[in-house]
Structure 1
Amino acid sequence: MRARILLLIGLLSACSTSDKPENLIPEDKMITLLEEVHVAENQVNNLHMGSADSSLVVYKGLEKEIFKKYSIDTAIYHASFKYYVARPEQFKAMYEKVVKDLEAKNERYLKKQRTSKPDTTKKPI
């Protein structure tokens, strides 16, 4: 995953120079948005819908809800994304935080799953 992110950063930064957008999403909020967008992508991938069109429709619905939750629109998100991508060192640091946060959330989820499973080794009295 990290290799794909670094490749994406390299490719996008090589062809993009972006001035600071008027409504730039602050870095901490952008990190949170990126985390939620990746969670939404993962949710759609786990649905195994079989059709790219159907998956895209579901993803766009989830994305719309994320943007609504944070009171932003697609244009602001894409302009902010383009701005940060044009600054590879900053974007790399942001994505390292995204990955770290997602890994921590995953670990908490797995820990919760392990502790919530009933103990099947005990025999009833």
Structure 2
Amino acid sequence: MNKTVWIVSVILLFSCTSNPVSKPKNLLDEDTMVAIMYDVAVLQAASANAPDQLHQKGIDAKNFIYKKYKIDSATYHQNSRYYAGDVKHYKKMYKKVLERLEQTPTTKQ
């Protein structure tokens, strides 16, 4: 019985916090993170539709993001985890990304 109360208490504690993931030391602001998410989405789409194009132009998607935003992989992953920890807020961020993608003109081959 005591073990059950402890487990329920822990579940309630984590469900009441707005974000169970601790804030990274190098927290990127929301607008920057949305911009990164947008660029990642564009690069993933390019990679899926024409994987050789990125390679031929010498573009490595991960390094492109790191260089453009002057971050390292740890900063990127810590911020991704942090923002994804608040699902409702993360969904709003992705909505911004989708709106931006819809506004982006497409080029026909």
**TM-score > 0.5 by shorter chain:** yes
Paired residue for 2:32? 29
Find out whether 1:19 has 2:22 as its counterpart.
Answer: yes
- Paired residues, number: 87
The answer for unaligned runs of 5 or more in structure 2 is: 1-14
- Which amino acid in structure 2 is aligned with residue 102 of structure 1? L
Rounded Cα–Cα distance in structure 1 between residues aligned with 2:44 and 2:51: 12
Identity %: 32
Contact 1:40 1:63 in 2 (8 A): no
State the TM-score, normalizing by the size of structure 2: 0.70
TM-aligned CA distance change 1:21 to 1:48, over 3 Å: closer
TM-aligned CA distance change 1:48 to 1:88, over 3 Å: same
Paired residue for 1:78? 77
Rounded Cα–Cα distance in structure 1 between residues aligned with 2:79 and 2:45: 22
Output one character per residue of 1:14-67: Cα deviation in whole Å (capped at 9) or x when no partner. 9x9310011011100000000000101011101256xxxxx9xx88x1221121
Rounded Cα–Cα distance in structure 2 between residues aligned with 1:70 and 1:20: 19
Q: Secondary structure at the match of 1:18?
A: coil
Q: Secondary structure at the match of 1:109?
A: coil
Rounded Cα–Cα distance in structure 1 between residues aligned with 2:37 and 2:62: 11
Greater than 3 Å deviation, 4+ residue runs: none
Deviation at 1:79, TM superposition (A): 0.3
Paired residue for 1:38? 41
CA RMSD of aligned residues (A): 2.5
State the TM-score, normalizing by the size of structure 1: 0.62
